[in-house]
Amino acid sequence: MKKAKSLNIKGKLVTLDEPWIMGILNVTPDSFYAASRVEEESEIYKRIETILLEGGRIVDIGGCSTRPGAYIPTEEEERERLEGVLSILMHHYPGVIVSVDTFRANIARWAVEEYGASIINDVSGGDMDPEMFRTIADLRIPYIIMHMRGTPETMQSMTTYENVTAEVLQSLATKMDQLYQLGVNDVIVDPGFGFSKTVAQNYELMRHLSDFRILEAPLLVGVSRKKMVYETLETTPENSLNGTTVLNAFSLLQGADILRVHDVRAAVEAVRITQLLKEE
């Protein structure tokens, strides 16, 4: 039986003895899945309650859409979008683990120091802000490092690989070493499904997902309702829950420690069943 991975969250050591579910809360007007967007205060409360009641362990807040070709808001726009939901979480849900999805070091510092955010989730893996790694080291919080080339505006023109799995692994390993040298101990790795990868490359990565265990870090998988699901099934994001659940279950069997999802209940059920399948 493999040793459970652990994270230091606000001075408390927590063990991922079984996979965790991260529920998505988008305060953006243009995220690819319309049902994930919330703007009104009542909608924010409802979404948080749904994530928690259905078994989510982390609330992941995004104020900047990272879908292919997305408009990148200014830092001030991103801050304004995040402020309301961070305030609600800080004052009304103080025990909840909050992840902030941002590539900006200033936003990361502000969210942690002003609102007590627990984790920073950086889709650019530090590439879009050279100050991010040092900021994470200074803040001493868990950091989700995702693989992506370019920016959300350019990433789909940067999909040439000789071996996608090997190159993603090498990129993540190199950056993890940089973080460790800066004193960052809690790194979560994300292969970046859908980011600077074709649908075929996403499935190649998925087939070799267990290879990421070599990094000896918690592994996050985010495929919820993405193009690799709905394009393959010739449907829409709105009709992609079943396909998402299939990939989530496969990911769990290959060693995923955290699933980032829109549909928390379905993911929690996938965890319960796959845990039984992994018992010896």
Active site residues: 226, 260
In the beta sheet, which residues pair with residue 99?
Answer: 60, 119
Burial of 273 (0-12, 13-18, 19+ CB in 10 A): exposed
Q: How far apart are CA 189 and CA 192, in angstroms?
A: 9
Question: Are the C-beta atoms of 147 and 191 separated by less than 8 Å?
Answer: yes
As a whole number of angstroms, the distance between CA 28 and CA 33 comes to 11
Report the half-sphere exposure of 78 (CA within 13 A, side-chain side): 22
Contact 165, 205 (CB under 8 A): yes
Q: Which amino acid is at 47?
A: R
Phi, psi of 24 (to 5 degrees): -85, 130
Crossing angle for the helix pair 264-278 and 241-253, to the nearest 10 degrees = 30
Which residues, in sequence order, are bridge partners of residue 16?
Answer: 5
Residue 173 CB burial class (10 angstroms; 0-12, 13-18, ≥19)? middle
Positive/negative CA dihedral, 154, 157, 160, 166? positive
C-alpha distances out from residue 89 to 133, 191, 217, Å: 25, 28, 27
